[in-house]
Structure 1
Amino acid sequence: MTDNNELNQKVTSYVGELEVIASGIAPSILESKLKLVYDDLQFEFDFVNNKEINNHNIELKIVEKKLVFILTNFNNSLGTGIVRPLEIGHHNGRRLYISFWVLTPSASEELRVINWTMLKGGSVNNLIETKDE
């Protein structure tokens, strides 16, 4: 039997010193891009296939107050992405990070599944983070 108080407790996850603030798994199809919104910040994943190059590439671009991840040749059925959290900006004085992994079960139909995690770190004012003792 589970105590109701246990069910109401919030679980907080960390990757090292970074706090996980959101994570999810979402499908992405050719016509529908994955968009993430965190307060007033917007992120979008845009997939590009380029047969002229053999490797994958990640380009970041700011378009109309939105950070767009242009992901070229993310066609691997085993997955491609960024596992080590990438600093993408600041929010309320804290560093903001993202990591993601893209699985492509059907490259011909451009069907993808995106596993993503957003994290926050220390203050942008501190170059070196210290722990309170």
Structure 2
Amino acid sequence: MIGKFLNRINELSMLRDNWNYEGAKPIHATVCRQAKALVVRLSENILKSLVVFPDVDGTLLFDVRSDNSHSTIFVCDNFFSYILKKKSGNNEVFSGCSWNKDSDVNAMISKIEDSLS
């Protein structure tokens, strides 16, 4: 399953300037590296619900949905942010998290994993 997402990120890395015909930027190489590093850390449970999208600013969005929650991870060059929307109404927003801090990445993965159950 990991290979599927690595291939998807490779495909998105080929997008060129103005790929949406409205001025979208190509996906930054650093963003692709960060996204690939994240994919290999995600659990099978998260991967089953994952969809990867390009964003117009040259970043990637990871979307994870279940019956109980909807999470969006904003994969940027030097940082990531994420939003957890839960059916219970206890929504959480985390911004400016560091790729260089394993505690930030592990906390995000754990929160998303917990929200899926």
TM range (shorter): under 0.3
* Structure label with greater radius of gyration: 1
Which structure: greater helix fraction?
2
Higher RCO structure, 1 or 2 (CA under 8 Å, sep 6+):
1
Provide the TM-score with structure 2 as the length reference.
0.27
Normalising by structure 1, we get a TM-score of 0.25
Q: Which has the higher strand share?
A: 1
